[in-house]
Structure 1
């Protein structure tokens, strides 16, 4: 087993903690109330993930190609694979995800697996929305889900007066 590396990356919507090994990135989580230091020295095994996330947030990257190594049950891995196949700029409903999975009755279990997705943004659970278009369920916070969907052109940016 490879040695685990960790970095903290500042995105426009909060600090991301990225953890991985030679086998790939195992987690990307938002760190609310972060009081540490943003990483300046990036371990070799995480360089490509940091580079691609910077390109996603600050340039025009639409797909990620660095190696992933999420940890989960067989069921969760299957659900996360479906998430990974939702293209940039598109969204699906939870019921559509259940159809793709092949079991409409598993909708709650699938939604729960989405919530346990360990690799935010790259495994795009933010692209799953309610059937009527409502923004429901995002472990990183609904405001971040909204920001990501606006960035990707899935929903229009809302004009605010305040």
Structure 2
């Protein structure tokens, strides 16, 4: 007979799209995401020896971010971290109520500034950081609604046509 305390907890239901990050040190990444972005650990599965994480899920900003340690031995000896690959073409975006406070926490936790935080022509206070594991994060708070005319003028100023 199975008692209630022996029943496994149901796995969290992931949202329709969730980033899955490969990192060089999953436990350090979880600690960074907690400190930098207020993430909460939802689930983790270590390897049998406890040295690496096969899988972890983090609740972050109303969404779910999944991650694991790098396992080159499972992918033909090729490391899949952004650092090993020379960077990432993906940027994970966080829309936040207070981007200035989040920015300060992220930088203090060890993020590297890629695009300084500033007021952008599209109405957001916005910036980009790279975490210590090579993943890019854009952080933003909507400051004002802009018209299409304002968007077009800003685009023209910041991305002039090539001649």
Q: Please give the range of the TM-score, normalised by the shorter of the 2 chains.
A: under 0.3
Higher helix share: 1
Q: Quick check: which has more Rg, 1 or 2?
A: 2
TM-score with structure 1 length normalisation? Answer: 0.25
